[in-house]
Amino acid sequence: MDNKVIKVRNLVKRFGKFVANDNLTFDVHEGEIFGFLGANGAGKTTAIRILSGLLEPTSGEVIVAGFNAGRESEQIKKNIGYMCQKFSLYEDLTVKENITLYGGIYGLKTSVIRNRIHELLEKLHFREYENRLISALPLGLRQKLAFSVAVLHEPKIVFLDEPTGGVDPITRRQFWEMIYETAAKGITVFVTTHYMDEAEYCDRISIMSEGKIVALDTPENLKKQFNAGTVEEVFIKIARPNISPIHNS
């Protein structure tokens, strides 16, 4: 049985002389919550763009949802969901219009879309917002809706790039409960975050530094390995060994 939904072997991505991804090798399993961490500029975004079929690797093998990232990027796009903090929904369309649009893009039947709209609005307690423009929604609601839309077509994997940036602490936690629920359904969640407490919620995390994956394990094992109390300490030890965490000022 092969339950690897992402399989990366010796992935290299160069931009001119600059090596953004330097020989990455890792697997992500079905239904796993995989935290993809790293300092700004470590190469996370490049890797996510390759995994989601938006960018071709320079060399190496990348298989996502059973398809090759270089040759079969269109099939990959059909089998994944994607959301990021900056852009996710069309602000000048209503909630319903956004769901309909994305459903259409993913090739869902009109009747299926209609059902999904109904389910989603019920689940998120969103009824009253159905005909509201996205721009008029509070950020927290917007992000929850964006996530729901990203998994509308029940993809094998959903990529979340800093989904909770700037979101209030309650919504942030509700968002993570949605992530848990999604993973429990067998959808793999591939997530980046700058909130180190959120890294602890992941099944496994990888930490990138200067284009390389320098650590990859469960949060528990990484803390043991680096003799650290929290993932934040692990992160700091890896990224810059001579710095104290935020709270030990």
In the chain, which ranges are E strands? 4-15, 18-29, 33-38, 59-64, 67-68, 80-84, 157-161, 188-192, 204-209, 212-217
Instruction: Rule CB under 8 A: say whether 154 interacts with other proteins.
Output: no
- Could you tell me which stretch among 12-20, 112-120, 148-156, 225-233 binds other proteins (CB under 8 A)? 225-233
Instruction: Rule CB under 8 A: say whether 197 interacts with other proteins.
Output: yes
When binding is defined by CB under 8 A, the residue of 8, 21, 38, 67 that contacts other proteins is 38
**DSSP code for 10:** E
The C-alpha atoms of residue 224 and residue 52 are separated, in whole angstroms, by: 32
Look up residue 98 and give its two tokens. 């956004």
Instruction: Rule CB under 8 A: say whether 168 interacts with other proteins.
Output: yes
Nearest approach, Cβ of residue 16 and other proteins (Å): 14
Q: Are 96 and 117 in contact (CB under 8 A)?
A: yes
**DSSP code for 94:** B
Nearest approach, Cβ of residue 74 and other proteins (Å): 31
Nearest approach, Cβ of residue 197 and other proteins (Å): 4
The C-alpha atoms of residue 91 and residue 61 are separated, in whole angstroms, by: 37
Instruction: Rule CB under 8 A: say whether 210 interacts with other proteins.
Output: no
Backbone φ, ψ for residue 171 (5° rounding): -60, -35
Nearest approach, Cβ of residue 248 and other proteins (Å): 9
When binding is defined by CB under 8 A, the residue of 10, 18, 138, 224 that contacts other proteins is 138
Nearest approach, Cβ of residue 247 and other proteins (Å): 5
Binding mask 78-117 for other proteins (x = CB under 8 A): -------x--------------------------------
Instruction: Rule CB under 8 A: say whether 23 interacts with other proteins.
Output: no
Rounded to an integer, what is the distance from CA 4 to the centroid of its chain? 17
Q: Are 193 and 35 in contact (CB under 8 A)?
A: yes
Look up residue 123 and give its two tokens. 């689940």
Instruction: Rule CB under 8 A: say whether 212 interacts with other proteins.
Output: no
When binding is defined by CB under 8 A, the residue of 220, 221, 224, 225 that contacts other proteins is 220
When binding is defined by CB under 8 A, the residue of 18, 41, 118, 123 that contacts other proteins is 41
- Could you tell me which stretch among 5-13, 88-96, 132-140, 145-153 binds other proteins (CB under 8 A)? 132-140
When binding is defined by CB under 8 A, the residue of 71, 169, 185, 227 that contacts other proteins is 169
Per the listing, tokens 């996205």 go with 134
Output Rg (C-alpha) for the chain, integer angstroms.
18
DSSP-derived secondary structure for 31-46: T-EEEEEE-TTSSHHH
The C-alpha atoms of residue 40 and residue 34 are separated, in whole angstroms, by: 18
Binding positions for other proteins, rule: CB under 8 A: 38-41, 85, 138-140, 162, 165-171, 173, 176-177, 180, 184, 194-197, 200-201, 219-220, 230-232, 235-236, 239-240, 243-247, 249
